[in-house]
Structure 1
Amino acid sequence: MSRTSHLQSIFGGSIGNLIEWYDWYAYSVFALYFADSFFPDNNQTAQLLNTAGIFAIGFLMRPIGGWLMGAYADRKGRKAGLTLSVLLMSLGSLMIAFTPGYATIGILAPVLLVVARMVQGLSIGGEYGAAATYLSEIAPRNRRGLYSSFQYVSTTMGQLVALLVLLVLQKWVLSDAQLMEWGWRIPFVIGAILALSALYLRKNLAETDQFKEQSHAEKDRGTLAALRKHRKESLLVVGFTLGLTIAYYTFTTYIQKFLVNTAGFSKEDSTVITLVTLVVFMVSQPFFGWLGDRLGRKPMMVLFGVVGTVCFFPLMKQLETATTNQEAILYITIALLILTVSTSISAIVKAELFPAHVRSLGVSFPYAMTVALFGGTAEYIALWFKNVGHSDGFYYYMTFCMVITLVSSLFIPGDRKRMHL
C-alpha cells in the first residue's frame, strides 16, 4: 500500500470513528440540559443519576455489539463492520432527537431514550474493535503504535466536536432556558446527518491485506468458539482495560459534571475546562503512540499502571478544591497525560494478541464487556458516592482497579513474542 493510500485509509477509518463518537458523547455532554425533560425532579443529582443510569445501559449493549459486529467484521471484512456500525449510530441519534419529553408522553419518553441508547450501544460496541483492527492491520510494522493512536485522536475529536457544539449554543445561539427546553435536540440531529455522510467514506475504504489473505483459512473465524482458544489473551484485555476505562470516563466524561456538581464551577466554565484539556489529550496521542513504537508496548502499559495507581486519587482530591479554571485545567491535564501513555497504544496492544480470523472479535468482545461493567458505570458510581456523602469511595475504587491493570500489564507478552501481526 502506497503512502497516499495509507493516509487515505487512516483518514477514512478515523473520520467515521470521529462521527460515531460525537454521537455517543453528545448524550453525556448535553445531559445537564435534557435531564429535566425526561426525568422531572427538583434534585439535580437525582436527575443526573437517572441519565447516567441510561448512559450505563447503553454501555451494557456494547458487549453484544462487540460480539455480533466483531464476528461480522471477521467474516465479512473490516470495512463492512465499520459501515454497519455507523448506520446504527445514525438511527439512535435520530430517535433521541425526536423523542418527546416526559410532559408530553409520560413514562414512554425515558423508555424510548433507553431504546435509542441501546441501539447506539450496539453500534459503538462494534465500532471500537473494527476500527482498532483496521488501523492496526493497515499500519507498517514499525509504525503500528503511531497508527493505532489515531483511534483515540478521532475518538477525542468526536467528544471535542460535541463540546464545541455545546459551547457555540451556550455562548452565541441560545439562552440557557432555550437549551433546557428544546436546544439540546440540535446536536443529535447534527449527529444523525454526519453519521449518514460517513457511509460514503467507509464504502470507499480499502480492505486490509490480512483479512483478505487469512480470514477465509479458518472455518470458525469470528466465532466465540474460536475466541475461547484465546482465553489468556482475552483475560489480559479485560485486566489492562479495567483501570484504563474507569480513568478515561472519569477524566473525559464525568469530569464535566464533577466540576459543576462538586467543585462548584458554572456549566459554561466546566465546558471550557473540559474542552481545553481534551485538546491536549488528543494532540498528545500520536507522540505517545510513536513512543510506544520505540520503547515497546509492555513498558508503556506498566508505566501507566504505576503512575495511575499513585496519582489519580490525589488529583481528584485537588480538583475538589480547585477554584480557578487554570487550576482545574492543570490537574485534569496531568491526569489525561498519564492516561495517554495507555490510550495511545491500547488498540495495537489488543490487536497484536489475536490472529486475523478472530482479531476483531477478540479486540471487541472482552474490551466491550469491561467497558460496559466498569467504564459505563463509572459516572453512576461516582454520583452515587457523591449522593451518599462519601466521594472518596469512588477514588479508592478507581485506585483499586488501577492496581489490577498494573498487575495485568506485567503479563503482557514482550514485543519480541508478538507474532500475530
Structure 2
Amino acid sequence: MSQSSSSPPPQLKSRIGAILRSTSGNFLEQFDFFLFGFYAPYIAKAFFPSQDETAALLNTFGVFWLGALMRPVGAIVLGAYIDRIGRRKGLIVTLAIMAIGTVTIAVCPTYASIGVAAPIIVLVGRLLQGFSAGVELGGVSVYLAEIATPGNRGFYTSFQSSSQQVAIFVAATIGFALNELVTGDTIGFLGGIEFAKWRIPFFVGCLIIPFIFFLRRTLEETPEFLAMKKHPSTTEVFRSAALNWKIIVLGMMVAVLTTTTFYFVTVYTPTFGRNVLKLTSQDALLVTLLVAVTNFFWNPVGGAVSDRLGRKPVLLTIAGLSLVTAYPALHWLVAEPTFGKMLTVEMMFSFYFGVYSGTMLGALVEVVPAHVRTTCFSMAFALAAGLFGTFTPFASTWLIDQTGDKASPGFWLMCAAILGIVATLAIYRDGKAATSQQPLAARG
C-alpha cells in the first residue's frame, strides 16, 4: 500500500521526532527560569522578606544570578562527560539534575515557616538548575547540528532556542490564567501546605518531568559521535578546552547579545511592566506571551537566512541595529508607557533576539573544535549567560535604582551589542571560520 501523499516520509518523521525529544529538556529549563523571574516579587516576599521592596527584589534576582554562575561549572564538568560518553546519556543526566533543582524550589517552605533555611534551600535548588543548564543548551545544540542535513545546520540548531519559547508561552499562559482566576495572595490550603499563587506553576513543572524523561530516553546517539574513532578522556577534554580558551572567550562575546536580550524580553519583562512601567500584570504577561510566539518564529528564520547568506553579515546587522536603537526605544517607551508601546518595543527586541540567536547557535557550533564540541560550546554560552544574560534582571533593576532613568537597561543591551560586533569581526577576520556548508567532521 502506497504511503499517503499527506504523510511526511519516514526520514522526515525521524528528524522531527529527534528535534522534539532532544529539545524537551530545554522546555523544563526555561519554564522554571522564566517562572523564577516572573514571580520574583512573590518569591521575594516568601523567601527574602524586607521592608525595602527593591532590596527584596535585588536579593531574589541575586539568587537567580548566583544559580547562573554555576553554568560554567556545569559546562566543563557535564560537557566533558557528554564529549566522552555520548550525547544521549549526557542529556539524560542533565535533565535529572534539572528536575531535582526544580522540585527543591517547588516544595521549599517559606521564610515565615523555617526562617533563614528557606532562602538557603532555594539557593541550592537554583545552583542545581544552573549546574544542569550549563550544558543543556550546548548539548542540545551540538546534537541538532550533528543530525542536520547538509546546508541547513543553522536552521536545525535554531530549534534549540525555539523550544525555549514554547516554555515561555506555556508559563506566561498559566500566569495569565492565574491572574484572571485567582484573587488574594493564596488560593487556599491542601494537606496543611499553603499553595501560594507563585507555587502552582512550579508544581506544573514538576508534573511534566516524567513525560520529558520518557522523551529523552528514546533519543538515539548521533551518527557523527558514533563514527568518531576515539573519544577523549575527561583529562584530555579539560586540556583541550584550556588550549582553546581564545575561541571560548570570543564565543562568549558573540553569545552575550543573545542571552541579555532574551532575559530582558522574557524573564525581566513582567517585572519591568509591573514595577517600572506600572502596567497591569495581565498587560505584562500578554506582552511576554506574544514575545514567546514571535521568538519561536524568528529563531528558525535567522538560522535559515544565515545558512544562505552566511553567519557574519546577519550577526553584524542585528548587533548594529541593537546598538543604535536599544536606548532610544526604551526612552520612547518609558516617557508615556502604554500596552501598545510596550508591545511595539518588545516586538523589536524579539526580532533582534530571534534572528541573532538562530544565527549565533550555528556559528558557535562551527567554530569550536569537533572532539570537544560540547564542552567548548557550553563553556562559551554558559559564561555569556552566567556573567551577562541572567544578570540582566539584576543589572536592569540596579541601573534604574541608581540612575533614576527607567530606560537605563538600554545601556546594558548596548554593551552586549558592542561585544557581539567585536567578537564577530575577530572570529571572521581572516575568512577562515567555518561556513554553514562545511561538514562538522572537518573541524577540530
Match status 1:191 vs 2:205: yes
The superposition leaves residues 156-194 of structure 1 with CA deviations (integer Å, 9 ceiling, x where unpaired) of 11122111111121112x224226961221111221221
Question: Is residue 89–residue 195 contact of structure 1 (8 Å, CA) maintained in 2?
Answer: no
Q: TM-score, normalised by structure 1?
A: 0.94
Identity across matched positions, percent: 30
Counterpart selection for 1:178 from 176, 182, 186: 186
Note the C-alpha offset of 1:375. Answer: 1.1
Match status 1:66 vs 2:57: no
Report the more deviating stretch, 182-191 or 63-72.
182-191
Q: Distance in 2 between matches of 1:87 and 1:25?
A: 19
Question: Is residue 308–residue 338 contact of structure 1 (8 Å, CA) maintained in 2?
Answer: yes
1:166-315 to structure 2, matched below 5 A, reads 166-172=175-181, 174-178=182-186, 182-214=196-228, 216-219=230-233, 223-315=237-329
Match status 1:19 vs 2:28: yes
Which of 1 and 2 has greater Rg? Answer: 2
Matched position secondary structure for 1:197 = helix
Q: Distance in 1 between matches of 2:234 and 2:269?
A: 43
Q: Distance in 1 between matches of 2:320 and 2:351?
A: 14
Structure 1 letter corresponding to 2:183: S
Note the C-alpha offset of 1:417. Answer: 4.0
Q: Distance in 2 between matches of 1:129 and 1:222?
A: 19
Question: Is residue 92–residue 217 contact of structure 2 (8 Å, CA) maintained in 1?
Answer: yes
Q: Give the match for residue 410 of structure 1.
A: 425
Q: Give the match for residue 366 of structure 1.
A: 380
Q: Distance in 1 between matches of 2:201 and 2:434?
A: 46
Q: Distance in 2 between matches of 1:279 and 1:4?
A: 24
Structure 2 letter corresponding to 1:376: T
The superposition leaves residues 6-56 of structure 1 with CA deviations (integer Å, 9 ceiling, x where unpaired) of 111111112232122212222112223222111222433222111101100
Q: TM-score, normalised by structure 2?
A: 0.89
Report the more deviating stretch, 259-268 or 100-109.
259-268
Q: Give the match for residue 343 of structure 1.
A: 357
Matched position secondary structure for 2:123 = helix
1:91-240 to structure 2, matched below 5 A, reads 91-172=100-181, 174-178=182-186, 182-214=196-228, 216-219=230-233, 223-240=237-254
Counterpart selection for 1:400 from 415, 421, 427: 415
Note the C-alpha offset of 1:218. Answer: 4.2
Structure 2's unaligned 5+ residue stretches are 1-9, 188-193
Structure 1 letter corresponding to 2:162: V
The superposition leaves residues 284-316 of structure 1 with CA deviations (integer Å, 9 ceiling, x where unpaired) of 222222111111111111112211111111122
How many equivalent pairs are there?
A: 420
Note the C-alpha offset of 1:72. Answer: 1.0
Q: Distance in 2 between matches of 1:96 and 1:417?
A: 41
Question: Is residue 356–residue 420 contact of structure 1 (8 Å, CA) maintained in 2?
Answer: no
Structure 2 letter corresponding to 1:150: F
RMSD over aligned Cα, in angstroms?
2.0
Note the C-alpha offset of 1:275. Answer: 1.1
Q: Distance in 2 between matches of 1:298 and 1:10?
A: 26
- Shift of the 41–292 alpha-carbon distance from structure 1 to 2, 3 Å rule, reads same
